[in-house]
Amino acid sequence: MVKQAKDLSVLFYETLRDIYFAEKQILRALPKMAKTSQSDELRQAFETHRDQTEGHVERLEKIFEIIDKPARGKTCDAINGILDEGKEIMEDFADTEALDPGLLAAAQAVEHYEISRYGTLKTWAAQLGLRDVVPLLEATLAEEKKTDDLLSKLAQNVNRKAAA
């Protein structure tokens, strides 16, 4: 049996599979978070990000096409853990003033994970000479950063209300 060389292109593909799985899990979690949210602004942010996440999945599928690899996810324990924490918050803080701040914290943990992954993938794509892939990753990275900024702004208002 020939062992496959573990180089940057293999690492790129494996990380792409990881974020693909993560985005699919996030797509499932966002409607629950929106439904649970007490704030209309936060609910709208979750619904908007769900729509964006569908676009992220489509971009990832385009990248798999460009690199001529199957679009298959790989279980991502990190995102599963972050989403499990979000579920715990929804259960433990249901119908309390702390629910929305908790949901925001969970959502930002997700965003920070995605920002880290997309930033890394963009850098690796550039180093691997994947010129058609870099702008797709850059577009998603920019959207993730914009969502994180929006969540930070919402948190100021939501946290203030919860602390009052």
Residues 107, 142: Cα–Cα separation, whole Å: 16
- Smallest CA-to-CA distance from 151 within 16, 33, 21 is with 33
For residue 3, the model assigns a pLDDT of 64
How many residues comprise the chain? 164
For residue 161, the model assigns a pLDDT of 75
Residues in the chain with pLDDT < 70? 1-4
Domains of the chain as residue ranges with CATH: 8-68+77-163 (1.20.1260.10)
For residue 78, the model assigns a pLDDT of 95
